[in-house]
Amino acid sequence: MTTDRPRLAVTAGDPNGIGPEVALKALRTPAVRAAARCVLLGSAAVVAAQAEALGLGPVRAVMQPDEPVGEGAIPVLDLQPDEAPGFAWGRVTAEGGRQAMRAVEAAVDGCLRGAFDGMVTAPISKEAIQRAGYEFPGHTEFLAERTGAGRFVMLLVSGGLRVALVTIHAPLAAVAGLVTRERVRTTLETADAALRADFGVEAPRLAVLGLNPHAGDGGVIGREEIEVIGPAMDDVRARGLDVHGPFPADGFFGRRADRAFDAVVAMYHDQGLAPFKALAMGAGVNVTGGLPIVRTSPDHGTAFALAGQGAASADSMREAVLLAAQMAARRKGSRA
């Protein structure tokens, strides 16, 4: 293993969920160890206690990302060395939200100052971070504000299957009002740029899904495809983007029409993520495109019901680390 492997910050996630477990499992896989130099960020006391309870040790607390540890040990950048925070598997708590977000803050700030080449975030609880005083619906929106990203896109990835979202964590009742010509256009442009920069796609081909059933059926079931989505697609075509649609969403993935495109742009969260997760089979990765830093995460949540059992699959977390390493290496290569 060479020292030019990307250095990645991996956040431990909510300590009451499966985040620390899947992170420890992923970081122990040979593929991850060969691809990146990873440092786990969180409370060393909590991670060590969970590692011992689940048989996932050894871990070592460090104060600097490049501090050496013993052979086979996972370094934990201790963010609470003067405290003794606990955890309560399966519970939503403000303390769990605070621990999770402290790690996210440290990871993104470390990426911005060059201490890390990218970051991978284990799952957080939106309810827990709200209890802790963080007024964000999730990682994506927090990271965009923290990094000053004017444009960003949530992009779910599993091999050649990629799904981007126009609206993200919005109530369904608000979606139609949020699907504006500007938002659709911005999402298409940001997804196109992310595919070029982070995935090496020279000329991305994008499919766009309609908002309404049957993509509006010529205006009979809604006019957003005619008045909003179509004009936004015309705007980006005029700038050289290769976009197609809008397609009816109901049968698009079922007939695997996605295979003809480099990414599919869905109008809202469940329209894109429900078929994605069905096809990705637990190994999907969430990528935040458009940020000045590399950020990935597994495509699942905290799974409080599984916490503490040692039974959580680390497949998605492993893939998230491997993809972050690839993206970071690509960005470093483009700057060389």
Residue 123 CB-density burial (10 A; 0-12 exposed, 13-18 middle, 19+ buried): buried
Tell me if residue 220 falls in helix, strand or coil: coil
Task: Return the pLDDT at 72.
Answer: 86
Task: List domains and CATH numbers for the chain.
Answer: 1-149+291-336 (3.40.718.10), 152-282 (3.40.718.10)
Phi then psi for 40, rounded to 5 degrees? -85, 135
Tokens of 209: 């899904």
Query: Which pLDDT value is given to residue 132?
Result: 94
Q: Cα–Cα distance between 70 and 264 in angstroms, integer?
A: 44
Q: Crossing angle, helix 44-54 and helix 19-27, to 10 degrees?
A: 80
Collapsing DSSP to helix, strand or coil, 287 comes out as strand
Distances in Å between the alpha carbon of 288 and those of 29, 74, 121, 248, 324?
24, 26, 11, 25, 11
- Identify the pLDDT of residue 1: 44
Sheet of 37-42, strands arranged across: 59-62, 74-78, 37-42, 7-11, 118-121, 295-298, 285-289, 153-158, 161-165, 263-266, 205-209, 242-247
Q: What is the DSSP string of 315-333?
A: HHHHHHHHHHHHHHHHHHH
* Cα separation values, 71 from 57, 62, 82, 324, Å: 12, 14, 26, 23
User: CA 61 to CA 77: how far, in whole Å?
Assistant: 6
CB of 164 within 8 A of CB of 264? yes
Instruction: Compute the C-alpha angle 200/201/207, nearest 5°.
Output: 145
CA angle 24, 27, 29 (to 5 degrees): 115
Confirm whether pTM is higher than 0.75.
Answer: yes
pLDDT in tens for each of the 336 residues of the chain?
456 899 999 999 999 999 999 999 999 999 999 999 999 999 999 999 999 999 998 999 999 988 888 888 999 999 987 777 889 999 999 999 999 999 999 999 999 999 999 999 999 999 999 999 998 887 888 999 999 998 999 999 999 999 999 999 899 999 999 999 999 999 999 999 999 999 999 999 999 999 999 999 999 999 999 999 999 999 999 999 999 999 999 999 999 999 999 999 999 999 999 999 999 988 899 999 999 999 999 999 999 999 999 999 999 999 999 999 999 999 987 665
Three-state SS at 172: helix
